[in-house]
Amino acid sequence: MATIYWAGDSTVQYNDITTYPQTGIGQVLHLYLKPDVKISNHAKNGRSTKSFIDESRVPAIYDAITEGDFLFIQFGHNDEKIQDSTRYTEPYSDFMINLEKFVNVARNKKALPVLITPLERRNFDGQGKLTPGFHGDYVKAMKQTAVNLDVPLIDLYTMSREELTKAGDAESKSWYMNFPAGKYSSKPEGSEDNTHLQYAGAVRYAGCVAKGLKELGGVYKDLLLDELV
């Protein structure tokens, strides 16, 4: 059976005890997949398309991926950090160019690329309403890249906003790494981490990815447990 290779950031990465209880989507997606589907998770905390490429993390994927495998490409959170020249990419130029590089890695090895829009951050206003999205231009740029290159796309951004809206402010807080200072967190007392996930959130959003695979159909749907299709 095929292997899913995953390039992305902290919302995807595999975590160990040093970052417990943080959990990446790529860490739990196997719960939705057939037992013989493997995941090779190359996502890393804090990376953008630029820094992932500049740190020479792509060759490890290129050397291992083979015909019939999949490359899931999920970036955006760190590409938008305009104050950091090591990570920032302009959405409608560098970001799209870098996404094409990842797509070519897969296609050059006869593997199947899938673009996945960035996960939404949890941010509710004083009335408990989800605020306008953070990743707008990067979502639009990724969708345009998918059209330009004829690449399948899973719109995790939109699905995660739907999940957050349904759950609301209080319930969704437990999906993210919100803890008092000193308990799994170095953040000042009273601050919140509305980007990084713990297990419940990772499982919730991995379910969105699984839904996206089902909607794509064909070989993408075939990755899922029979009970889900």
One-character DSSP codes across 92-139: IIIIHHHHHHHHHHHHHTT-EEEEEPPPPP--B-TTSPBPPPS-HHHH
Q: 3-228: what fold?
A: Rossmann fold (3.40.50)
Q: Which pLDDT does position 100 carry in this prediction?
A: 98
Token readout for 136 is: 């707008």
Question: pLDDT per residue over 73-128, tens digit each?
Answer: 999 999 999 999 999 999 999 999 999 999 999 999 999 999 999 999 999 988 88
Q: Which pLDDT does position 184 carry in this prediction?
A: 65
Q: Which pLDDT does position 126 carry in this prediction?
A: 87
Residue 155 CA: distances (Å) to CA of 120, 159, 180? 11, 6, 32
- Active-site amino acid positions: 10, 192, 196
Question: pLDDT per residue over 116-175, tens digit each?
Answer: 999 999 999 888 899 988 899 999 999 999 999 999 999 999 999 999 999 999 999 999
Q: What is the mean pLDDT of the chain?
A: 94
Q: Which is nearest to 20 in space by CA: 163, 181, 185, 172? A: 185
Question: Residue 204's CB: how many other CB atoms inside 10 A?
Answer: 19
Q: Which amino acid is at 169?
A: D
Please tell me the distance from the alpha carbon of residue 130 to that of residue 123, in angstroms, as a whole number.
6
| Ramachandran area for residue 146 (φ above 0: left; ψ -120 to 50: alpha; else beta) | alpha
CA atoms within 13 A on the CB side of 165: 10
Token readout for 213 is: 């695979």
Q: Which pLDDT does position 181 carry in this prediction?
A: 61
